[in-house]
Amino acid sequence: MVRYLMWRLLDAVPTILLVLTLVFVCMRILPGDPALAALGDNALPDQLAAFREKMGLNVPLWQQYLNFLGGVLTLDFGRSLMNNTSVLQLLVYNLPYTIELTIAAMVMGVVAGIPLGVLAATHRNRMADSGVRVFSLIGYAIPDFYLGALLLITFSLNLGWFPINGGGDGFVDRLHHIVLPALTLAFVKAAFLGRLTRTSLLEVFGKDYVRTARAKGASERRVIYRHGLRNALLPLSTGMGLSLLATLSGSVAIELVFNRPGIGKLLIGAITERDYAVIQGGVIVFALFVVLVNLLMDLVYIVVDPRIRVT
């Protein structure tokens, strides 16, 4: 197992390197001048030149690239072009907010989505099933930033139940701040997982071993959870992995709507300002997250389905 993990991590190195290279190249190809973004529209030519010199933007691209890669290897992601803050410091500040949002949304989505899927599958073509399908359809159709704004207007602005922006200070305050953003992301997630659970369970319910279990007189609860849901877990774990990644990308819009600190908000701001060092640092975090989630999914497969063997 350890060897397998090591191989999978080594596999990820070229992927991350490719992502870093692509981001480095794309940011330099894109029109836009970080010096102009930092100093403002009225900056004079000599001020811009001095800024480029100071921030190392005048050195050849290949040298910038090597400096960047060397920095990543030593965990030195450079400094923000806008305010000279260490990028690592920015990442360390923002990452916990994104992680807690992702986890909270995932937990809420799973807790709501899987029972809804089970409910729909066990009440096929009845009112409950129709209700879950409508809910799933709405969940798919409604953009998360729009839903976020709706929740914000209803529960924060009109009812005043939740804070309108920010990430909060201290455990309780942070918990209070995370409810609406997590609920927004969880809504889409619950719709997706509910639908997936329903489909997977219905497929499993048609299998011979389920019929046999029922013929043997197993209780309906045992049939659903022991024989049904357990065997539906493989596609569900794939779905949860994908959903986790979608949560991360969805957090970008949500962090903006709720004005929460986080890697997504940090990245969007950095892209607007062409703050190369921050963009590169943020993308590394996202890339690592994708690699780790994929690795986690592979491990879950092994646990869920013993037939899958490491080759």
Q: Is 48 left (phi over 0), alpha (psi -120 to 50) or beta?
A: alpha
* Interface with another protein (CB under 8 A), residue from 67, 156, 199, 294: 156
What is the rounded distance in angstroms from the CA atom of residue 265 to the CA atom of residue 282? 10
* Interface with another protein (CB under 8 A), residue from 134, 161, 288, 303: 161
* Interface with another protein (CB under 8 A), residue from 71, 93, 133, 142: 93
Supply 187's token pair.
Answer: 């809504």
- The phi, psi pair for 98, rounded to 5°, reads -70, -40
Q: Which of 286, 268, 277 is nearest to 85 (CA)?
A: 277
By the rule CB under 8 A, 59 interacts with another protein: no
The one-letter amino acid code at 226 reads R
By the rule CB under 8 A, 66 interacts with another protein: no
Instruction: Find all residues with CB under 8 Å of 9, minimum gap 6, and list them.
Output: 291, 295
Measured from the CB atom, the residue of 77 and 241 that comes closer to another protein is: 77
| Least distance to another protein, CB of residue 118, Å | 6
By the rule CB under 8 A, 185 interacts with another protein: no
What is the rounded distance in angstroms from the CA atom of residue 157 to the CA atom of residue 37? 34
By the rule CB under 8 A, 153 interacts with another protein: yes
* Interface with another protein (CB under 8 A), residue from 25, 32, 211, 308: 32
Interface mask toward another protein for 123-152; x: CB under 8 A = -----x--------------------x--x
What is the rounded distance in angstroms from the CA atom of residue 140 to the CA atom of residue 249? 15
By the rule CB under 8 A, 37 interacts with another protein: yes
DSSP 157-177: IIS--S-SSS--SSHHHHHHH
Residues 217-276 touching another protein, rule: CB under 8 A, are 221, 224, 256-259, 261, 265-266, 269, 272-274
What is the rounded distance in angstroms from the CA atom of residue 311 to the CA atom of residue 309? 6
| Least distance to another protein, CB of residue 246, Å | 21
What is the rounded distance in angstroms from the CA atom of residue 136 to the CA atom of residue 11? 36
Supply 43's token pair.
Answer: 């900056």
Contact segment (CB under 8 A) with another protein among 28-36, 70-78, 203-211, 289-297 equals 28-36
Cα 202 to the center of its chain, rounded Å: 29
Cα 125 to the center of its chain, rounded Å: 33
Q: How many residues bind another protein (CB under 8 A)?
A: 64
Contact segment (CB under 8 A) with another protein among 13-21, 101-109, 154-162, 204-212 equals 154-162
Q: Summarize as ranges the residues that interact with another protein (CB under 8 A).
A: 30-33, 36-49, 80, 82-85, 90, 93-94, 115, 118-119, 122, 128, 149, 152-153, 155-157, 159-166, 172-173, 175-177, 179, 221, 224, 256-259, 261, 265-266, 269, 272-274
